[in-house]
Amino acid sequence: MSTLEPTTASSRKLYIESYGCAMNFSDSEIIASIMGEHGFESTNQEEEADVIFLNTCAIRDNAEQRIRTRLIHLRSNKKQNSDLIIGVLGCMAERLKDKLLEEEKLVDVVAGPDSYRELPKLVAEVDEGGRAINVLLSREETYGDLNPVRLNSNGVNAFVSIMRGCDNMCSFCVVPFTRGRERSRDPKSIIKEAIELQNQGYKELILLGQNVDSFLWFGGGAKKDFKKLTEEERNQSIDFADLIEMVAQSVPNMRIRYSTSHPRDINEKVVHVMAKYLNICNYIHLPAQSGNSRVLEAMSRNYTREWYMDKITMIRNIIPDCGISCDIIAGFCTETEKEHKDTLSLIEWAKFDFSYMYKYSERPGTPAAKKFTDDIPEDVKGRRLSEIIAIQNKVSKEKSTDYIGKEVIVLIENSSKKSDQDWMGRNDQNLVVVFPKESYKKGEFVKVLVERCTTTTLIGKAIGIASIS
């Protein structure tokens, strides 16, 4: 059967497994849409699948090792189904390219993040007895015309990708090499998708980009550097602050979040728009990576400790109760004990609600791998990470304790993992809140009185329906 012609017959089953960041999970929904137009029905059951795609992450080595182990397991599934097609997609596919096909022979299809429209054709090539690869990067592809298939959806939260790629070239990061240059999506298509989600009953959308604050669209297309636009292009341009205001106005009954911001690019205009609209969450994920200026320079982050602190101060001056989370890397190349302590002091000063914390993992081909020796011993990295986690847990517990006795607005997302008698949702600042179900329903906004807490979870009781408009 040719897989190149669209068909309504769901004669083959597709199983997608997603790893890594929210962008990968969003991409999987795009992949399901493309494959669905060519006769592949998405399934949650691996054993039913005729095609299995692993949508991968390459940002840390342990993520790649997990995927390799998974591929070895899946390859054994060929014994039960000799026609099974296995593909590696996304960032790991882009980084390793034909090595996956030729050296390890673990997969049949390899496709990078900008090649998903070619997947039906690649599968057809495998059907004809070959192996298939397409990892070409694009300067234009945004998939903005597609309607994503919401995989494993709770019917409440949905991702909306607003841009692709990254131009920042942080020395430790593979993303610019695996996802290509930045390009922004047409705002009209973003608004259209948001309105469709609202009409389908979704209550929260998360706007996604590697660096959302550099979103920029003008009438003729997208450019990154606002300073290089002509006056006419500037008058036509839509930046990120404009975009989130347009979205907030278009779907007033939906809660809006976004990720990820870059400390160099977030500005007062964005934060003032957040403060203006009740349906834009008071929450910003603002990765610092380190609290020391010399290490930040080695990381090519293009800001200093003082610059970062000024951004935190700006945010809290405009939105005093804004939730702020962070990314931290422990043990980057050449980091000294004193510089590590600067990171600890930044966490304590900034009062992050929570952080994603990791040991440095050297990625082949990155500027850091070419320029620096990964010279911090693993036991030292581990100890520094433990100290970072300890100070963040202390700060998180203090922040959570401050909510006791206060009311928060919560969007009900699902049953609590610990008890089917309780709901769980998140407050405006993105903290998990748990409370008894009573007569409340999934997808409702409710006021919850916080009675107690753990380090990063608020526990209380609902006291009524809430409004965000």
- Across 411-439, average pLDDT: 97
- Across 249-277, average pLDDT: 97
According to CATH, the superfamily of the domain at 157-401 is: tm_1862 like domain (3.80.30.20)
Q: What is the pLDDT of residue 241?
A: 97
DSSP 333-365: TT--HHHHHHHHHHHHHHT-SEEEEEE----TT
Do the first three CATH levels of 157-401 and 407-465 match, i.e. the same topology? no
Q: Are 354 and 392 in contact (CB under 8 A)?
A: yes
Cα 265 from Cα 415, distance rounded (Å): 37
pLDDT over threshold 60, residue 70: yes
pLDDT over threshold 60, residue 3: no
- Across 111-123, average pLDDT: 95
Q: pLDDT tens-digit profile of 25-55?
A: 999 999 999 999 999 999 999 989 999 999 9
pTM of the prediction? 0.91
- Total count of residues recorded for the chain: 469
Helix (H, G, I), strand (E, B) or coil at 231: helix
Confidence band, pLDDT 50/70/90 cuts, at residue 225 = low
Q: What is the mean pLDDT of the chain?
A: 92
Q: What is the pLDDT of residue 106?
A: 78
Helix (H, G, I), strand (E, B) or coil at 176: helix
Residues above pLDDT 70, as percent of the chain: 95
CA distances 140 to 22, 27, 220, 276, 443, Å, are 21, 16, 12, 33, 36
Ordered by start, the domain boundaries in the chain are: 7-134, 157-401, 407-465
pLDDT over threshold 50, residue 2: no
Q: pLDDT tens-digit profile of 366-424?
A: 999 999 999 999 999 999 999 999 999 999 999 999 999 999 999 999 999 999 999 99
Q: Are 208 and 160 in contact (CB under 8 A)?
A: yes
- In the DSSP assignment, the letter for residue 186 is P
Helix (H, G, I), strand (E, B) or coil at 51: strand
Residues 6+ apart with CB under 8 A from 42: 13, 14, 15, 16, 32, 35, 36, 149, 151
Q: pLDDT tens-digit profile of 271-311?
A: 999 999 999 999 999 999 999 999 999 999 999 999 999 99
Q: pLDDT tens-digit profile of 322-343?
A: 999 999 999 999 999 999 999 9
Closest CA to 299 of 323, 270, 267, 263: 263
Other C-beta atoms lying within 10 Å of the C-beta of residue 386: 12
Confidence band, pLDDT 50/70/90 cuts, at residue 58 = confident
Residues above pLDDT 90, as percent of the chain: 78
| Amino acid identity for residue 394 in this structure | K
pLDDT over threshold 60, residue 220: no
CA distances 207 to 202, 215, 219, 314, 327, Å, are 14, 11, 21, 22, 19
Say which CATH topology domain 407-465 has: OB fold (Dihydrolipoamide Acetyltransferase, E2P) (2.40.50)
Other C-beta atoms lying within 10 Å of the C-beta of residue 272: 13
Q: What is the pLDDT of residue 72?
A: 86
- In the DSSP assignment, the letter for residue 3 is S
CATH architecture, domain 7-134:
3-Layer(aba) Sandwich (3.40)
Q: What is the pLDDT of residue 227?
A: 62
Q: What is the pLDDT of residue 6?
A: 39
Both tokens assigned to 337? 């004990």
- Across 347-367, average pLDDT: 96
pLDDT over threshold 60, residue 125: yes
Both tokens assigned to 80? 């039960």
Helix (H, G, I), strand (E, B) or coil at 134: strand
Q: What is the pLDDT of residue 1?
A: 29
Q: What is the pLDDT of residue 152?
A: 86
Q: pLDDT tens-digit profile of 164-211?
A: 999 999 999 999 988 999 999 999 999 999 999 999 999 999 999 999
Confidence band, pLDDT 50/70/90 cuts, at residue 226 = low
Phi, psi dihedral angles at 126 (to 5 degrees): -70, -40
pLDDT over threshold 70, residue 107: yes
